[in-house]
């Protein structure tokens, strides 16, 4: 999980093609199937925290960029600086693993009220595994996400598999469910339950309860935030804070 958060959660995915609606992705672990509109752009500067029993891991500053490259198709990249602080040992910092992904929406019904999509990602081993900043080998995440909107409510859910060929690491499944409510065009709040199964013998599975939202200062600039912790399995305390910009191509 610490490497995954360091790479940007998911990832994690991406959000906010129109800031007046409820969407998923950062600052949540549960993502959504909605891609960036064709020719539009998104940019994030963010930081994350994962405090576990053995260490604290911070990703930040980290950047995320998304662009609509075709109808229903989005390109995605995350580049994080990572800080690894063991409870007993010397803290290290440096470049973490770099994430690339393509989000593709294959169901879009009733003006977006029901959507389904896939969001495969490749995590390049650019971070040092020896220093606790990366995985050591390229690994992959293969999720399917579903979204249903009802009035001011938006519900996202889904999950997938991690394929990790690094020594002593496991292939693992994950999944989550997220409910969000748009109080007005400026404020959206949400709550999610997210499950990650064991990633290694020393990284057991856990279930998180997470709260967060978006504060939209304008149609192109927002503040994202979330915080939560484990309700089952290994103990983790997590947090996310970030700034978000979006822009469309000049006419």
Which helix H or strand E contains 5, and what residues bound it?
A: helix 2-6
pLDDT tens digits, 103-150: 999 999 998 899 999 999 999 999 999 998 999 999 999 999 999 999
Give residue 14's pLDDT band: very low, low, confident or very high (50, 70, 90). very low
Q: How far is Cα 251 from Cα 249, in angstroms, rounded to an integer? A: 6
The radius of gyration of the chain from alpha carbons, rounded to an integer in Å, stands at 17
170, 200 Cβ separation under 8 angstroms? yes
- Residues, the chain: 251
Q: Is residue 251 part of a domain?
A: no
Q: Determine, yes or no, domain membership for 192.
A: yes
Is pLDDT above 70 for 6? no
In a domain, 237, yes or no: yes
- 163 domain residue, yes or no: yes
Q: Is residue 157 part of a domain?
A: yes
Domain assignment of residue 90, given as a range: 2-245
CATH code for the domain in which residue 28 is found: 2.40.160.40
- Three-class SS state of 246: strand
Residue range 74-89: mean pLDDT, rounded: 92
In a domain, 221, yes or no: yes
Quote the pLDDT of residue 250. Answer: 64
- 250 is a domain residue: no
Give the number of domains in the chain. 1
With respect to residue 86, please indicate whether it lies within any of the assigned structural domains. yes
pLDDT of residue 24: 59
Instruction: Output the pLDDT for position 25.
Output: 84
Residue 63 pLDDT > 80: yes
Mean pLDDT of the chain: 89
246: tokens are: 């979006």
């Amino acid at each position: 999980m610490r490497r995954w958060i360091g790479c940007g959660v998911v990832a994690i995915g991406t959000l906010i093609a129109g800031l007046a609606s409820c969407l998923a992705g950062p600052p949540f672990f549960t993502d959504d199937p909605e891609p960036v509109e064709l020719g539009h752009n998104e940019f994030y500067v963010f930081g994350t925290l994962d405090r576990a029993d053995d260490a604290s891991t911070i990703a930040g500053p980290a950047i995320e960029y998304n662009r609509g490259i075709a109808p229903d198709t989005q390109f995605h990249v995350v580049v994080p600086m990572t800080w690894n602080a063991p409870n007993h040992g010397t803290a290290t910092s440096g470049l973490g693993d770099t994430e690339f992904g393509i989000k593709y929406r294959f169901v879009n019904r009733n003006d977006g009220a029901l959507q389904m999509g896939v969001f495969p990602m490749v995590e390049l081993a650019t971070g040092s595994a020896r220093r606790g900043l990366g995985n050591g080998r390229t690994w992959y995440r293969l999720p399917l996400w579903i979204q249903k909107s009802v009035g001011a409510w938006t519900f996202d859910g889904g999950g997938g598999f991690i394929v990790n060929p690094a020594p002593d690491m496991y292939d693992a499944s994950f999944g989550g469910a997220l409910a969000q409510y748009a109080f007005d065009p400026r404020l959206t709040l949400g709550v999610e339950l997210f499950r990650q199964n064991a990633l290694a013998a020393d990284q057991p599975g856990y279930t998180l309860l997470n709260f967060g939202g978006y504060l939209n200062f304008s149609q192109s600039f927002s503040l994202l935030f979330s915080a939560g912790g484990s309700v089952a399995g290994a103990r983790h305390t997590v947090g996310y804070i970030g700034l978000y910009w979006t822009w469309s191509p000049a006419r």
